[in-house]
Amino acid sequence: MNNVRKTIALFLCTLVLAAGVACTPVCAESLTFNDFRKQLEWVEHAFVGHAITEAELIRGARDGLLSFITHNPALKSKPHFRRSVYFVTDMRGLEKAYEECTQTLSASDSHAAMYALLDGMVRSLHDKYSVFMTPKNSLAFFSLFQDKKYVGIGILWIKRLGYPEINKVLEDAPAARAGLRAKDIIIAVDGKSMYRKDEHIITQALLGVEGSVVHVTVRRHNGVHTFVITRAHVQWKSVACYVADHVAHIEVRFFGEETNSEIDALMTHLSMLPLKGYVLDLRDNPGGYVGAAVHMVSKFVPGGSVVLFSKNRAGYYFTVTDGSYVETARPLVVLINKDSASAAEITAGALKDYGHTVIGETSYGKGCIQQPSFMRDGSVVKLTVALWKTPKYHPINQVGIKPDIEVKNDDNTDVDTQLIRAIQEVLKQAVR
C-alpha cells in the first residue's frame, strides 16, 4: 500500500458511524459547562485509541480556550486573564475560567467559547478520526448520509496529502456541468486554502444556498484552474446497478441511511432475472453506517453468521448477520481498491472470510469505529470507540483487506480492467 496514510471521506466523512443514529436538529438552546463535563467523562471512558486521563483532556480544553481568548477582541486585551487561564490544571479552575469568559462576551461569543473547550478537548486525543463539530457543521455533515437532496456541487472526494481529491462527479450535477473531473485536487474554495482543513470545514465550504456561486480552484495535471459553479439540489443514491453478460454489477458508493432499503429493493428485482452472478463493487467506498454494512453482508451470508468482532472499553463483542439472506447459488465477486475503507472493509472482509472471491487492490485499512454524541444544541463529538476484526479474526487497522486476485487499473486509460476481471471470474465460477 501507499506509505502515505490518507484520510478517506464520503462528502467529508472519515468515520464509520454507529447504526441508527439520527441527526439532532440545531436548536437555540445553549450549552452549559455541565454539558462539557459530561462529554469529557464520556470521552475519558469510551475512547479506545490510547490511554487518556481527565487531566490531559482538561489541558486540551484549556488550550482550546486559550486559543479562543487570543483571537477574541474582547478578551485579548486582558493579558492578565490569559495568563491565569494558562495555569488552569483542574476542572474547577477550567469552569471558573469559562464563566469569567462568558461574563465578558456576547451570547454568540459565549457559544464559541464553549465550542473552543470541546474542540480543544477532542484535539488533545491526537486521533484523526475523532472530531468536534458545531451545530451548523454537524447538520451539513450528517445530512449527507441520508440519501436525500442537499444543496451543493455533486462530488465525492477523498483526502490525499492534506488536500481533498475528487473521487466521483455525479452526472449532470453542477460540478460535472462546470467541468470538474475525477482526480482533480481541490486546493481552494472561494479563495480559501483547503490544505489540512477538517472534513466538516470543507463540507461547509462546498455546500450552500441554492443558486449561490462557489469558486473551486483545482490542481490538474496540466495546471491550476478555477471553476465558477452554481450550487443546486443534488441527490446521491448509495446503490446503483447495471447488468451486462447476465452479471449484475452492484455499485455501493457509501453506506447511508437508505442503503438497506435500496439493496432490499434491488435484490428483490434481481432475483427475478436470469443472472449468472454478482459483482459487488466497493471501490472508492469510504464507509458509513455499520448496520448498513452488516445488512449488505446478510444478503449473501446465512443468518446468525459473525460479520465482525469488536473491542471497546467494556470488552469484546461480535455482530452477526440479520437473517435477510436471499442468495444461495449464484457466485459473488467483490471489488475493492486502496480507497475502500471502514464499513466497506467490514463488508469485503466478512464476504472474503465466507469464501467469496475479492478482486482489486489492498484496501485502506481503517479498522476502528466512531460513535457520535449529539448535544442539546446540535453540536457533536464523534469519537473512536471500538476496534474491529473480520470473522476469522484478521486485523484490518493499518493493514487492509488483501484481495484474492490482485488487479490494478491503468490511470492513463478508461478501460476498467478490475471490473472486466471480476465479471470474468463470476462467469468462470458460474459454470463450475
User: What pLDDT was estimated at residue 137?
Assistant: 82
Q: What is the DSSP string of 43-55?
A: HHHH--SS---HH
pLDDT tens, position by position, 218-277: 999 879 999 999 999 988 789 999 999 999 999 999 898 899 999 999 999 999 999 999
Residue 428: φ, ψ to 5° = -65, -45
Higher pLDDT, 167 or 367: 367
Compute the average pLDDT of residues 352-377: 95
User: Of all residues in the chain, what percent carry a pLDDT higher than 90?
Assistant: 70
Question: What is the pairing mode between strands 315-320 and 306-312?
Answer: antiparallel
Query: What's the Cα-to-Cα distance from 24 to each of 19, 29, 91, 99, 409, rounded to whole Å?
Result: 15, 12, 28, 26, 41
Tens of pLDDT, residues 76-96? 778 778 888 999 999 999 999
Give the confidence band of 172 by pLDDT, cuts at 50, 70, 90: confident
Amino acid at 72: N
Q: Would you say 283 and 337 are in contact if contact means Cβ atoms under 8 Å apart? A: yes
List, for residues 6-59, the tens digit of each pLDDT value: 323 333 233 434 333 334 444 557 899 999 999 999 999 999 989 999 999 999
* Residue type for position 314: A
Q: Which domains does the chain have, with CATH numbers?
A: 33-134 (no CATH), 149-234 (2.30.42.10), 239-370+384-430 (3.90.226.10)
Q: Give the closest residue to 94 by CA, choosing from 35, 30, 37, 43.
A: 37
Position 68 scores a pLDDT of: 93
C-alpha separations of 278 from 245, 328, 334, 391, 424 in Å: 11, 12, 8, 22, 11
pTM above 0.85, yes or no: no
Residue 2 — very low, low, confident or very high, per pLDDT cuts 50/70/90?
A: very low
What pLDDT, on a 0 to 100 scale, did the predictor assign at position 141? 74
Residue that wins the pLDDT comparison between 200 and 358? 358
- Closest Cα to residue 282, out of 308, 255, 261, 322? 255
Count the Cβ atoms, other than its own, within 10 Å of residue 384: 22
Alpha-carbon gap, residue 426 to 4, rounded angstroms:
33
